[in-house]
């Protein structure tokens, strides 16, 4: 998520547009895992400016995007009731992240 990476000032990063739970690619896709890792190692050697984010060109296949199979089957607790959502909204507006 380069949006957050940029916001919090990560020294060096590589960004890839893959879903949660398969951030290194599909299960069994060792070649993709290897390719992403080589990009990361390359970034360590080449990035000279703090805060640089290198975006990788890989995309999630459209037919797999339609599966939406990265969403957890169990509802996320903070989204599971209106009370929990309200508690989260209150935290977002007034909370201290370092609490």
Partner 1 sequence: MAVNSFKFMPRTLAESMKVWPYVDTSGEEIPWTAPGKPIQESKVALVSSGGLYRKDDRPFDLDRERREPLWGDPSFREIPRGISQQDIRAAHLHYENSHALEDYNCMLPLAALEDILAEGRIGGISEYHLTFMGYQPRLGTFVRESAPGMAERLVEMDVDLVLLSSG
Q: Is 78 in the site for partner 1 (CB under 8 A)?
A: yes
Stretch 11-40 residues interacting with partner 1 (CB under 8 A): 11, 15-30, 33-34, 36-38, 40
Minimal distance, residue 87 CB to partner 1, in Å: 6
Q: Is the dihedral of CA 92, 76, 20, 12 positive or negative?
A: positive
Minimal distance, residue 49 CB to partner 1, in Å: 9
Q: What is d(CA 89, CA 18) in angstroms, rounded to the nearest whole number?
A: 27
CB atoms within 10 A of CB 36: 19
Q: Is 76 in the site for partner 1 (CB under 8 A)?
A: yes
């Amino acid at each position: 998520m380069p949006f957050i990476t940029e916001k919090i000032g990560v020294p060096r990063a590589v960004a890839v547009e893959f879903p949660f739970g398969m951030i290194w690619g599909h299960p069994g896709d060792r070649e993709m895992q290897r390719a992403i890792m080589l990009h990361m190692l390359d970034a360590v050697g080449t990035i000279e400016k703090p805060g640089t984010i290198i975006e990788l060109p890989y995309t999630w296949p459209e037919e797999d995007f339609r599966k939406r199979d990265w969403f957890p089957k169990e509802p996320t607790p903070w989204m599971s009731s209106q009370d929990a959502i309200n508690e989260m909204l209150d935290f977002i507006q007034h909370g201290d992240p370092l609490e």
